[in-house]
């Protein structure tokens, strides 16, 4: 979760970015790098891909800051850029995996996780459900912020988070029972 800040202060920084002030971009980088990296890692499962996604997101922000609507939530806008970038990376990965299988090679190795069973289990969730769960339960975004970020209804977010928790509970119970036997 991002440290609290007055919207007016962040709005001033965004305006300075629009004017090309590199100091303002540095401020945004320092404020958003870690939360974006955590989210990207949880969505992609690879530290290298997460770093690539964050760097690409900052480049997209730099190139497209003019598209940010005044009065909108900057964090929602920026996390939307990250989510889209992660989606692009996953698509490229799936295409590559498919091409590898077509050439009679073994599929790419499964993604490395932090070694925590929970990380591997979260990775099994469908993409939208995983994004809703990570942004709400892990990054502590409100349901409204998640909905705005993913451009879906609040009810859809709520349902996805609920289903994710239910699935995770079931999978964790099953895996714990298998380990103990």
Q: Which residues have a Cβ under 8 Å from the Cβ of 10 and sit 6 or more positions away?
A: 74
Q: Angle formed by the axes of helices 22-44 and 47-64, to 10°?
A: 140
Q: Which residues have a Cβ under 8 Å from the Cβ of 121 and sit 6 or more positions away?
A: 168, 171, 172, 175
Comparing C-alpha atoms, which of 110, 130, 114 is closest to residue 171? 130
Query: Two tokens at 108?
Result: 């790419």
Comparing C-alpha atoms, which of 132, 131, 121, 134 is closest to residue 167? 121
Domains and CATH numbers, the chain: 1-112 (1.10.1740.10), 113-181 (1.10.10.10)
Task: Dump pLDDT digits (tens) for 122-155.
Answer: 888 999 999 999 999 888 899 999 999 999 999 9
pLDDT at 111: 34
* Identity of the highest mean pLDDT range in 57-71, 104-118, 150-164: 150-164
pLDDT at 177: 60
Residue 123 Cα distances to 19, 75, 160, angstroms: 40, 24, 14
Pairwise CA distance, residues 77 & 65, whole Å: 10
pLDDT at 14 over 60: yes
From the CB of residue 53, how many other CB atoms can be counted at a distance below 10 Å? 28
Pairwise CA distance, residues 94 & 99, whole Å: 8
pLDDT band per the 50, 70, 90 thresholds, residue 163: very high
From the CB of residue 101, how many other CB atoms can be counted at a distance below 10 Å? 12
From the CB of residue 44, how many other CB atoms can be counted at a distance below 10 Å? 21
Q: Which of 16-25, 122-131, 153-162, 169-178 has the lowest mean pLDDT?
A: 169-178
Task: Dump pLDDT digits (tens) for 23-74.
Answer: 999 999 999 999 999 999 999 999 999 999 999 999 999 999 988 988 888 9
Backbone angles phi, psi at 62, to 5 degrees: -60, -45
pLDDT at 148: 93
pLDDT at 5 over 70: no
pLDDT at 118: 73
């Amino acid at each position: 979760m991002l440290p609290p800040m007055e919207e007016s202060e962040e709005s001033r920084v965004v305006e300075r970015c629009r004017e090309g002030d590199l100091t303002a971009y540095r401020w945004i980088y320092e404020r958003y790098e870690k939360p974006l990296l955590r989210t990207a890692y949880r969505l992609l499962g690879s530290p290298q891909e997460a770093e690539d996604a964050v760097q690409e997101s900052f480049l997209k922000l730099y190139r497209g800051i003019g598209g940010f609507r005044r009065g909108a939530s900057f964090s929602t806008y920026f996390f939307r850029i990250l989510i889209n970038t992660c989606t692009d990376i996953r698509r490229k990965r799936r295409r590559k995996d498919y091409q590898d299988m077509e050439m009679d090679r073994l599929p790419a190795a499964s993604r490395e996780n932090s070694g925590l069973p929970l990380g591997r289990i979260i990775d099994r969730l469908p993409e939208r459900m995983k994004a809703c769960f990570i942004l709400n339960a892990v990054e502590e975004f409100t349901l409204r912020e998640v909905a705005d970020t993913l451009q879906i209804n609040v009810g859809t977010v709520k349902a996805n988070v609920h289903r994710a928790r239910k699935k995770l509970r079931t999978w964790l119970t099953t895996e714990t029972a298998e380990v103990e036997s």
